[in-house]
Amino acid sequence: MTEAKLREIGDHEWEHAVERSSEPVLVMFFSPTCRHCIQMKPYIEELAQEFSPSVSFLMLNILEFGWIAEKYGVMATPTFIWFCGGKPVQSRVGAVFPAMLKKMIEEMIQTGEECRMKSTEIKYEISGYG
């Protein structure tokens, strides 16, 4: 049995798997009832098979871990956010053409580190509570 290349994570793994990861990470923010999320998942699994282990492919359920989605401005599902060096550097929203995601992955593998070095880290907490 082969190890899953696309895996679902929760808040306990988030910091280590995404924010402190030394490798590039593509996160699919999803909700279980989102028909576009269900439609996109097989394509993401194929991309994970093709690009692992160069890239980590993760999924996060926004209904269970809404504060993480809120932190990164996720307002619709599916939302795909590319992280490099723990920083979000690119995103796509909706049922994106798989070829567009593949091109994004290829480009980010080539230029992601440069993009990360030129980006400004945003340190803030967003919350509508208290």
Would the pLDDT of 119 be above 60? Answer: no
Structure tokens at 62: 């926004």
- Beta strand 6-9 with 87-93: parallel, antiparallel or unpaired? unpaired
Asked if the structure places residue 127 within a domain, the reply is no
Q: Which domain holds residue 85?
A: 6-118
CATH number at residue 34: 3.40.30.10
Those residues whose C-beta lies under 8 Å from the C-beta of residue 17, and which sit 6 or more positions away, are: 9, 25, 56, 58
Residue 93 near residue 115 (C-beta atoms within 8 A): no
What pLDDT is stored for residue 115 in this prediction?
A: 61
Those residues whose C-beta lies under 8 Å from the C-beta of residue 1, and which sit 6 or more positions away, are: none
Asked if the structure places residue 15 within a domain, the reply is yes
Q: Count structural domains, the chain.
A: 1
Specify the range with the lowest mean pLDDT, choosing from 29-38, 50-59, 112-121.
112-121
Asked if the structure places residue 123 within a domain, the reply is no
pTM, two decimals, is 0.82
What pLDDT is stored for residue 4 in this prediction?
A: 64
Chain-centroid distance of CA 14 in Å reads 11
Asked if the structure places residue 124 within a domain, the reply is no
CA distance 104 to 92: 9
Q: What is the mean pLDDT of the chain?
A: 85
CA neighbours closer than 13 Å in the CB half-sphere of residue 9: 22
Asked if the structure places residue 128 within a domain, the reply is no
